[in-house]
Amino acid sequence: MREKLDELKKRFALVDDLGRAAAVLSWDQQTYMPPRGASARAEQLATLEKLAHEHFIADENGALLNDLAEYAAQLPYDSDDAGMIRVTKREYAKAKRVPPALVEEMARAAALAFEAWHNARAESNFKLFQPYLAKNVELRIQLADHLGYSDRIYDALLDQYEPEMTTAQVEAIFTPLRKEIVALVQQIARKADAVDAAVLHREYDEQKQWDFGVEVIKRIGFDFARGRQDKAPHPFTTGFGLDDVRITTRVAKNFLPTMLFGTIHETGHALYDMGYRAELERTPLGGAASLGVHESQSRMWENVVGRSRGFWQFWFPRLREIFPAQLADQNVESFYRAINKVAPSLIRVEADEVTYGLHIMLRFEIENALVERKLRAADVPDAWNAKIKEYLGVVPPNDAQGCLQDVHWSYGDLGYFATYLLGSMFAAQLYDKVVRDLPALPEQIARGEYGELLNWLRANIHTHGRKFTLDELARRVTGEPLHARSYVAYLKKKFGEIYGV
């Protein structure tokens, strides 16, 4: 059986290599590729995705997995081998249902749609993107039909990013959560003037911002011997192996949080991608449990840590050294309040923590409507504008600041957005446990010390790679399934204090 397992590992190492190679091509496309390179790149990505898929669903793999089923049943559930066989079997069963031609077509369509989205956003012209979005939606409907689902078509798509989570489960959490958030937003709205964030819109030299960001993430634990940071129009993290994890960011001269919290956010992702055990490298477990778990890491560092008072007790003096004129009239407290100003706004990635969830819910609803054929691609701008007005009371002046703002749909990543909010919730739930385990943590953070937190995350989350689902991790680590209580309590306490509500 060891031989069969070794054979399985060898076969999946090749699949892993192809996936990582595609990740390099995609990273390059989003960072350095010259404009005219897009069409050849689309072919290359399609070929890599197709080959990876073909090698993944090879009948030999199915036979090996069958042969190993009995062996796996005798192994402890938590062991690497059991996990590897379990996760591979789950993913194999799904992948087997998808025709390689569809995989190839999705990859090619996505590469072309990314370029179209990029131009459409630059010109704020949704029409340029519309046919590509329609195509991506159509292909995802086909995909869901192949994957199968028992309740909602969206289940099949969500499951790609958040294994074993259902649309109904998400709605059961989102619906009451929405009431809580809307109530909090309304309370805060009555005291909108209590926080002044004008300081964030002063002029900050871009290179100095970049350098400060690098200083922060190095201290947090980003290892530049094992990764790098580049600029990209839509920031993301990608890994080409345990020891080559890339983050990207963007820098806005007149809005400090864009780079600052973007960089910390991606570092949270990167630490996760750098954190599984080396034995899992080039195996199906060498990665993240799910996007929700991934996002719990980025959100924890970005928000729970990065937007905390303690964090800025350490970093504000340093930031003021770098920008003495811009921050002359500020102190830790005023800066802390500024970076936590709550205000309904148009751009998701720049939204405050309180309104953020509403940005996600509107996307989750639009995606559901698209794949249930209740909404056409052509009608997305109107639907978007109506919903954001309803939830947040704001209306985008153009589509670049509306439905064209996110990159995800250009890749056809429908089913993805919900994981952002699940991640925020899970971050809060985990952090409740962290501070019980590490009572000295708040003081450490105020001293700029993050080692114990990182070690805790490594030991409880990162080390496992893809072995457990979000639900399994939640139960193992916190003793409960995923819930929104910690998240709601966190928002109410933090913003209640800031706004006096």
Q: Compute the least distance from the CB of residue 391 to its own copies, in Å.
A: 40
Q: How far is CA 316 from CA 117, 149, 323, 475, in A?
A: 37, 50, 10, 37
Q: Compute the least distance from the CB of residue 51 to its own copies, in Å.
A: 6
Does the protein bind its own copies through residue 244 (CB under 8 A)? Answer: yes
Pairing state between β 245-249 and 227-231: parallel
Pairing state between β 227-231 and 237-239: unpaired
Residue 36 or 179: the one with the smaller Cβ distance to its own copies is 36
Torsion 283-284-289-295 (CA) sign = positive
Residue 288 or 430: the one with the smaller Cβ distance to its own copies is 288
Residue 205 or 281: the one with the smaller Cβ distance to its own copies is 281
Using the rule CB under 8 A, give the single segment among 9-17, 193-201, 291-299, 311-319 that binds its own copies. Answer: 9-17
> Within 33-52, which residues bind its own copies (CB under 8 A)?
33-37, 39-41, 43-44, 46-48, 51
Residue 22 or 85: the one with the smaller Cβ distance to its own copies is 22
Does the protein bind its own copies through residue 28 (CB under 8 A)? Answer: yes
> Within 186-225, which residues bind its own copies (CB under 8 A)?
223-225
**Torsion region of 282: left, alpha or beta (phi above 0 gives left; psi -120 to 50 gives alpha):** left
Residue 29 or 478: the one with the smaller Cβ distance to its own copies is 29
**Torsion region of 415: left, alpha or beta (phi above 0 gives left; psi -120 to 50 gives alpha):** left
Residue 221 or 402: the one with the smaller Cβ distance to its own copies is 221
Q: Compute the least distance from the CB of residue 100 to its own copies, in Å.
A: 12
Residue 240 or 450: the one with the smaller Cβ distance to its own copies is 240
Convert 53-73 into a string of H (helix), E (strand) and C (coil): HHHHCCHHHHHHHHHHHHHHH
CB-neighbour burial class of residue 379 (10 A; exposed 0-12, middle 13-18, buried 19+): middle
Instruction: Confirm if 474 and 487 have CB atoms less than 8 A apart.
Output: no
SS3 481: coil
**Residues tagged active-site:** 266
How far is residue 416's CA from residue 431's CA, in Å, rounded to a whole number? Answer: 23
- Residues 470-499 as x/- pattern, contact with its own copies by CB under 8 A: ------------------------------
Q: Compute the least distance from the CB of residue 211 to its own copies, in Å.
A: 17
Does the protein bind its own copies through residue 278 (CB under 8 A)? Answer: no
Q: Compute the least distance from the CB of residue 236 to its own copies, in Å.
A: 16
Does the protein bind its own copies through residue 21 (CB under 8 A)? Answer: yes
Using the rule CB under 8 A, give the single segment among 30-38, 57-65, 152-160, 291-299 that binds its own copies. Answer: 30-38
Q: Compute the least distance from the CB of residue 274 to its own copies, in Å.
A: 10
Instruction: Confirm if 479 and 321 have CB atoms less than 8 A apart.
Output: no
Using the rule CB under 8 A, give the single segment among 77-85, 239-247, 415-423, 457-465 that binds its own copies. Answer: 239-247
Does the protein bind its own copies through residue 24 (CB under 8 A)? Answer: yes
Report residue 227: phi and psi, to 5°.
180, 180
SS3 244: coil
Instruction: Confirm if 98 and 143 have CB atoms less than 8 A apart.
Output: yes
Does the protein bind its own copies through residue 316 (CB under 8 A)? Answer: no
Instruction: Confirm if 309 and 484 have CB atoms less than 8 A apart.
Output: no
Single out the residue of 314, 296, 299, 294 nearest to residue 212, CA to CA: 314
Q: What is the DSSP letter of 241?
A: S
Does the protein bind its own copies through residue 60 (CB under 8 A)? Answer: no
- Per the structure block, which two tokens stand in for 165? 């989570």
The site for its own copies (CB under 8 A) is made up of 13-14, 17-18, 20-22, 24-25, 28, 32-37, 39-41, 43-44, 46-48, 51, 223-228, 230, 240-244, 281-282
